[in-house]
Amino acid sequence: MARVESILRIEDVVKKFGEVAALDHCSFNIEPGSITGLIGPNGAGKTTLFNLITGVLRPDSGHIYFKGEEITGKKPHEIARKGVGRTYQIIRIFPKMTLLENLIVVGKGKEKRVIERAMELLSLVKLAEKKDDNASELSFGQQKLLSLAQVLMLDAELVLLDEPAAGINPTLQNELMALIHQLNREGKTFIIVEHDMNVIMGHCGSAIALNYGQKIAEGTCSEIQNDECLLEHYFGR
């Protein structure tokens, strides 16, 4: 069967917290170069899925493959070094370190090159002037941008963004989404968890909907929008 190898393949993944199944036999593929929205109500299992992909949690059963290689049960730092980056819903940067340090510490290789790359990325997210400030001094939206720059410093091929647009002003939101499209054109694959359906519909090529840990719909954004089953679950109709 000749087809493009999926960059990420989730196969029959189950994760239970006690009796509650946060993910219940969930399977899907992500194609390289795509921007996929991950939607679903609170508690649907979106963040759990990110935690499983990045190795923060281990699935009870099922398999996760990145570029054809099984990464199930690997350590978070190993998965990150293979090229999977993520941001967190609650921002998790290194507050008492400078912006430059926040990036340098992620970089690998020659020191001079790492610093150059860190400065490029700070310019890209328009924070170059603040390079010697502590990250804790940034505004909420700027911290989100810094967190994205860290993932780019890691040079991740697959980037998982947990509510990147939440809580930041519309201007910054537009800049952020423009940046995501630019990086996508350069070859990066994105999975975005977002509650704002306008962000999903406006920016993602396809979407996957979860509820109670199960995939309830998958397809292009227009398909999703017209999916009766999903509308019932998600929009309460």
Partner 1 sequence: MKALLSEKNRIWLGIFVLMAFLISIPFFASDYWITLLTLILIFTVYSSGWNVFSGLTGYTNFGLAWSIGLSGYVSSLLIADYGFFWLFAWPVGAIFTGIVSIGVGYILLRIKGVYFAISMVALTEGTRELFGTKYLKTVTHGGIGVPFVAGIGLSTLYWAILVLAFFTIVICYRISFSKFGLRLLTIREDEQAAETLGIHTTREKIIAFILSAFLVGLAGSIHFTYQNYIDPSFAFNIQLTLTPIVMTLFGGVGTVFGPLIGATLFTFIHEILWAELTLLYMAVFGGILMVLILFFPQGLLGWLKERGILPRSRKI
For residue 108, the minimal CB distance to partner 1 (Å) is 8
DSSP class of residue 44 equals: S
Choosing from 58, 73, 77, 229, the residue that interacts with partner 1 (CB under 8 A) is: 77
Span interacting with partner 1, options 101-109, 173-181, 185-193, 226-234, rule CB under 8 A: 101-109
Q: How far is the CB of 162 from partner 1 (least distance, A)?
A: 11
| From candidates 86, 144, 215, 233, binder to partner 1 by CB under 8 A | 86
> How far from 17 is each of 43, 59, 113, 213, CA to CA, in Å?
12, 11, 43, 12
Interface of this chain with partner 1, residues 29 to 68, rule: CB under 8 A:
54-56
Farthest-apart Cα atoms in the chain, separation: 57
Q: What are phi and psi of 201, to 5 degrees?
A: -65, -35
- Regarding 176 and contact with partner 1 (CB under 8 A), the answer is no
Out of 11, 14, 62, 104, which residue is the one contacting partner 1 (CB under 8 A)?
104
Segment interacting with partner 1 (CB under 8 A) among 29-37, 79-87, 165-173, 229-237: 79-87
SS3 24: strand
φ, ψ of residue 128 in degrees (nearest 5): -60, -35
146 forms part of the interface with partner 1 (CB under 8 A): no
Instruction: Report the 3 state secondary structure along 163-216.
Output: CCCCCCCHHHHHHHHHHHHHHHHCCCEEEEECCCHHHHHHHCCEEEEEECCEEE
d(CA 73, CA 174): 36
Question: Is 105 among the residues that bind partner 1 (CB under 8 A)?
Answer: yes
User: Where on the chain is the footprint of partner 1 (CB under 8 A)?
Assistant: 54-56, 75-77, 79-81, 85-86, 88, 92-97, 101, 104-106, 108, 111, 150-151, 153-154
